[in-house]
Amino acid sequence: MAFDMRSAIIAVDFFSVLICIVLCYGNIFEAKNKNKSGIMYSIMVITDFVALISDALSYIFSTRVFFYLTNTLTMSLSLLLILEFIIFMGFYQNELGQQMKLRKINEYSVSAVLCLICLLITVFGCLNDWIFTYGENGEYIDGELFGVYLAANIITTGLALAIIIKNQKHFTSKISIAAIVYVLLPAIVAIINTLIPDFSFAYPACAISLLAFYILTQSVAAVKLETEKQQNRYHATHDALTGLYGRLAYQEKIEELEKSHTTVGVVFTDVNGLKIANDTMGHAAGDRLLIDYAEILTRVFTKDYVYRISGDEFVVIYEKGFKDSFEKIIEHFYAEIAKNEIASVGHKYGRGSDINNLISESENEMYIQKEQYHKAHPEMSR
């Protein structure tokens, strides 16, 4: 059975229509959230969807009997392709403007003018059979100005490619590749179509390039989302001033230890004189005091085990080593803070499943030491 290019083009067109439907569905979230780029991308997909339907119908009715219908559909295809390209340049300009924090991109204005010129050439050329027409048997025939039409589109495509290459530093490599693929793939197929008239797959190529664009941009969006998720997680679990673990991480660690059978050392500490420092020297001095104390804790216990659970309270949940090594490190810690009595401290060692009691006992021990500190330094009492 001989290969029928016409049937193949119709089949590929309708397959590409399915791709456009899937892309519209995949992008519906962005469109619903009124994301400007998302809406423009959806319009691009819908434009290509209509172009594909028109292309398929133009082949289905490509006979002299349906000359006017076919001619109208083919003209519509050219207009839709240029329209889709204009929307793409608007999409890219919007993304570029957001990256560069600019309201207007000069290159886009030039590209838009060229696209409009192509649009006018297409309208007047098609209405007057200057770009293409159909023969007695419905065959496609290039018009007198087809070369002008082709040259205008090549120049516009070349400018778009130059804009993308020039501004690629403002985007990730995947975004730049996606934009280049979108511009080049249909253009390459269109050039092949000019050399081989039966090879008319420019509109399916647009659908494939939109699919590639979607996959690449979504992978970038997924990485960005994961990065934002990690950043949000970090901010939620860490103290902004000291960089130590915060209250949420502390509560999560307690829940984890309640189910464990490991042993753990607990140190409950409270900074001495924080209120006095804030009241007499300002909050910057109080912050400095907290940062200095955090540095002592991380120097002795390492950052992995230290939590700031409130304004002046820090807790160490030490999961490294046995009781003897914990007691040795506690001795070193007491020697560090004894230099300037920067904090009151209580500590206990026991099973992780008994973590709440260990914390409570350490806190009570800390309050006893705090009371002794205030007796020795009544001027520091709050």
Return per-residue pLDDT of the chain as tens, 382 residues.
445 777 888 888 888 889 888 888 887 776 677 667 777 778 778 877 887 887 777 777 765 445 455 555 555 555 556 666 666 666 666 665 555 444 444 555 666 666 666 666 666 666 666 666 655 565 556 667 667 766 766 776 777 777 777 777 767 677 777 777 777 777 777 777 667 767 777 778 878 888 887 887 777 677 777 888 999 999 999 999 999 999 999 999 999 999 988 999 999 999 998 888 888 888 899 999 999 999 999 999 999 999 999 989 999 999 987 889 999 999 999 998 988 889 999 999 999 999 999 999 999 999 999 999 988 888 776 5
Asked, for residue 242, whether it belongs to a domain, the answer is no
Same domain, 57 and 77: yes
Computed on alpha carbons and rounded to an integer, the radius of gyration of the chain in Å comes to: 35
Q: How far apart are CA 220 and CA 218, in angstroms?
A: 5
Residue 269 is predicted with a pLDDT of: 96
Number of domains in the chain: 2
Residue 88 is predicted with a pLDDT of: 65
Q: Which of 181, 210, 235 is the C-terminal boundary of a domain? A: 235
Residue 234 is predicted with a pLDDT of: 92
Residue 272 is predicted with a pLDDT of: 92
Q: What six digits make up the tokens of 83?
A: 């329209």
Per-position b or e across 12-28, b if 16+ CB within 10 A of its CB = bbeebbebbeebeeebe
Residue 2 is predicted with a pLDDT of: 42
Same domain, 110 and 213: yes
Residue 100 is predicted with a pLDDT of: 47
Same domain, 161 and 287: no
- The CA angle 324-269-231, to the nearest 5 degrees, is 100
Q: What six digits make up the tokens of 268?
A: 């409950």
State the pTM of this model: 0.58
**What are the DSSP E strand ranges found in 164-286?**
263-271
Asked, for residue 107, whether it belongs to a domain, the answer is yes
Same domain, 257 and 288: yes
Same domain, 265 and 220: no
Q: How far apart are CA 332 and CA 337, in angstroms?
A: 9
| CATH code of the domain in which 306 resides | 3.30.70.270
Structural domain that includes position 320:
247-380
Q: How far apart are CA 255 and CA 359, in angstroms?
A: 13
Cβ atoms within 10 Å, residue 288: 13
